Amino acid sequence: QTRKYIFPANGKMKDALSNMVVAINDVLMVNPTLDVEFHFCGVKTDRILEILSVENTTRLDPRIIVHNWLKYEELIALYQKMDFLLLARETNEMTKANFPSKVPELMTYGVIPVVSRVGDYTAIYLHDGENSFVFDGCTVPEIRNVINRTLEKDIVELKTISSKARKTVEEKF
């Protein structure tokens, strides 16, 4: 079964977009037959190619899917097909104080957060390996490692984590 990841943000200020894109590209290059999809919303294809050009990559792997503007109904339909939300952030005053609303929004659909340990939402609500994958930092190796951790889990483990993610939203938010 295809593992599907989504980055649903604008890639400005708070998110480590460049590091996520490079880490994803690394995972795909090492595993050319890996059955995965990485979906980006709110980020232009040109921006992703600009990031990858530093790595001498001139084309997008077909497993990297960039969505143009989606109507709300289309966005929700996309969320319902996703397995993971990938969100890497640096630790700074802005990210510590920010609670990304996309996290609980996607968790309502059973999407498993794969997020940097930043601020209250990871300290209070998300528990690594239980209802999410929480990792320290936002460097390319750290992001690559957490993606690989998600890929190591079997479908039964992921269904359990997904249902606990949804249950967290129901009970805590």
Do residues 112 and 162 touch, judged by C-beta distance below 8 A?
Answer: yes
For the stretch 24-50, pLDDT in tens is 999 999 999 999 999 999 899 999 999
Query: 63 falls in which pLDDT band (50, 70, 90)?
Result: very high
- Is the pLDDT assigned to residue 15 strictly greater than 60? yes
pTM: predicted TM-score of the whole model, two decimal places: 0.93
CA angle 167-127-107, nearest 5°?
A: 40
Q: How far apart are CA 117 and CA 160, in angstroms?
A: 21
Residues 6+ apart with CB under 8 A from 161: 112, 129, 130, 131, 132, 153
Do residues 96 and 69 touch, judged by C-beta distance below 8 A?
Answer: no
Q: How far apart are CA 134 and CA 122, in angstroms?
A: 7
Mean pLDDT of 137-162: 97
Percent of the chain with pLDDT over 70: 91
Q: How far apart are CA 115 and CA 107, in angstroms?
A: 12
For the stretch 78-105, pLDDT in tens is 999 999 999 998 765 665 556 667 899 9
